[in-house]
Structure 1
Amino acid sequence: GVEREKIRVVYNGVDERFQPGDKKRAREGLGLPHNRFTVLFVGLLVPIKGLEVLLEAVHQVDDERLLCILVGDGTLRECLEKQANETGLEGQVLFAGSRSSQEIPVWMNAADLLVLPSFSEGRPNVVLEAQACGLPVLATRVGGTPELVTDGSDGLLVDSGDTRQLADGIITLMSDESYRRQLGRGGRESIQKRGLTWEASALRIKEIYQEVRCQYSRR
């Protein structure tokens, strides 16, 4: 294998479009109700994302104030729509379909919580984007997600596939606005402290190229 001292890690950055915004204005622009606790998922509607678990969690929360929005499309959409209908969630789950990348910051600013219930992940940029918007994150502790979310500090982590934990996380954040704000601030501060911008990532890559060039020029 490759020697450890030869490895350099460059993290993804976050586009500068992802900034905290006015929730009321965002909801008005998207035609969303102002009086609903809005949980947002952004990504592909495919089995690995754990969305069937999410809909079951929404069913267990059993609160008409809750609105779950799925932004994205995929092979699982028809099954999820059927699940929502069969469990009486027609008024609580909104399938928004695929949206342009330009719209995603608006959806995030309209939401109260980003949820990522995946069974597997790499290092999901959607978490970084939510944190940059000051949006609290509820995610499963899989893949690289725990590198981005510190449980109880800038988000909440639950076990993948555990419907009850996911439902309890939603209930906790739904019932405690000050805690939501605290987690949202924590995520935003985490992004700022780590300098996770595309400019910073590009500069880091440039530094690595310069380091390699210097090493070879000495030979």
Structure 2
Amino acid sequence: MGDGLRLALTTYSVNPRGGVVHTLELAEALQAAGVLVTVVALSDQGKGFFREVGVPVRLIDAPAPAPTLEERVFQSIATLTEYLGEIGDQFDIVHSQDCISARAAARIRDAGTSYRVIRTVHHVDDFTTQALMDCQRNAILEPDDVLVVSKLWQDLLLKDYGVHAGIVTNGIRAERFSAGISELRRKELRQKLGVDDRFVYLTVGGIEPRKGTAYLVEALARLKATHPNPPMLAIIGGHSFQDYRAYRESVLDSLEPSGLELGKDVVLLGTVSDAELPEWFSAADGFAFPSMKEGWGLVVLEAMAAGLPVVTSDIDVFHEFLTDEDDALMTNAGDAASLAQGLARLVDDEETRRRLAQHGPTVAARYPWSATAEQHLEVYRRALNAR
């Protein structure tokens, strides 16, 4: 099925961020379809991927961390460019999942290597320096073909960049999250949180502006002021190329004045192992994801596959695969009062919890990685014919 296609999937990191998860899952699904896939990634000084990978992997040591984001970005582009210059002629297509690896791939193509560059834009970052904004723009304009995972981003790229992007849906390995855990294991995980009968909300993605964490904490504080046995929040994640320390410190500093206690009402689990991640979905009672911006929101489908009732924001991209009240409770983005109402309703209304939990696995089952791989194969075939 792969027609002997030699494909490199490139990514800027080995950590469990959404675009990296997408890269690995897509690589394995494409290999199963007969494609000769190699994953190329920047590594944190010899560190491998966060999980075992079932396709050939080539890791390049990332440069030592520079003091500014701008320096880190351009040093990473230079490192990837040098490496792709050595191996680029081994591939027919280099498919990049981020602006760093896309710019590196385009430089080697422009230097004469005959592969075709494809870029998936998962979202556009809110950079604050002109150099990074220009870099991001070029990473969208330079590839031969651009893909997105949602209609929202297809429209935005056409409006803001004049780029006609194709849509390929995201995917999920639903069986990984629907397997469940024993009651004993569930009890063990909840004991790590120090809870017994409290309602546990889980969120994944760390503390970032894009994830709406400040609104989530404010909403949680509202519930603590009104509920005799208020829910608590467990936060998984933290790895990011960008530096969100100031935002993180601001959010954590807001806990005590809001009546919340770190380690009791809000627990930071950090980065958990790949094996443990689906277990936390099974240990929680609800999933909260009040994002302000997403390319798709893969983790929402992971929660739904696990049978967790979900509260999200109402950003446009979520409406592409969720129906309010049927699949999730969708609250006003950036509105802590609206979010608090949604969180409270899930805590208080057993029928709502049951309905959402029943619908979730059905929604998740619509997006297998095999279907995503087939969509990509069509894109690759057209790209090769256009050379």
SS state of the match for residue 187, structure 1? helix
Question: Could you tell me which residue of structure 1 aligns to residue 289 of structure 2?
Answer: 116
Question: What is the 5 A alignment of 1:29-44?
Answer: 29-30=188-189, 31=191, 32=193, 33-44=195-206
Question: Could you tell me which residue of structure 2 aligns to residue 107 of structure 1?
Answer: 280
Question: Could you tell me which residue of structure 2 aligns to residue 174 of structure 1?
Answer: 347
Report the identity percentage. 35
Query: Does the 8 Å contact 1:122/1:145 carry over to 2?
Result: no
Question: Could you tell me which residue of structure 2 aligns to residue 50 of structure 1?
Answer: 212
The counterpart of 1:203, out of the listed 341, 349, 374, is 374
SS state of the match for residue 333, structure 2? coil
Task: Compute the displacement of 1:209 (Å).
Answer: 4.3
Task: Compute the displacement of 1:9 (Å).
Answer: 2.6
- Deviations for 1:13-41, whole angstroms, at most 9, x for unmatched residues? 11241115247444323234231101111
Query: Does the 8 Å contact 2:223/2:230 carry over to 1?
Result: no
How high is the TM-score relative to the length of structure 2? 0.50
- Deviations for 1:62-112, whole angstroms, at most 9, x for unmatched residues? 233311111122523332222112222113111111223332211111111
In 2: Cα distance, 1:200 partner to 1:9 partner: 13
Query: Does the 8 Å contact 1:19/1:133 carry over to 2?
Result: yes
In 1: Cα distance, 2:182 partner to 2:337 partner: 28
Question: Could you tell me which residue of structure 2 aligns to residue 66 of structure 1?
Answer: 231
The higher radius of gyration belongs to 2
Task: Compute the displacement of 1:213 (Å).
Answer: 8.3
Task: Compute the displacement of 1:208 (Å).
Answer: 4.6
Distance 1:209 1:57, change over 3 A: same
How high is the TM-score relative to the length of structure 1? 0.85
Distance 1:61 1:102, change over 3 A: same
- Deviations for 1:110-153, whole angstroms, at most 9, x for unmatched residues? 11111111222210111111111111111111141121221000
The counterpart of 1:9, out of the listed 163, 167, 178, is 167
SS state of the match for residue 68, structure 1? strand
Q: CA RMSD in A?
A: 2.4
| Residue ranges of structure 2 left out of the alignment (5+ in a row) | 1-157, 159-163, 239-243
SS state of the match for residue 169, structure 2? coil
Q: After the TM superposition, which of the residue ranges 178-187 and 73-82 deviates more from structure 2?
A: 73-82
Q: Residue type of the partner of 1:27?
A: R
| Residue ranges of structure 1 left out of the alignment (5+ in a row) | none
Q: After the TM superposition, which of the residue ranges 155-164 and 69-78 deviates more from structure 2?
A: 69-78
Question: Could you tell me which residue of structure 2 aligns to residue 130 of structure 1?
Answer: 303
Higher relative contact order structure (alpha carbons within 8 Å, sequence separation ≥ 6): 1
2:268 pairs with 1:95? yes
| Number of corresponding residues | 209
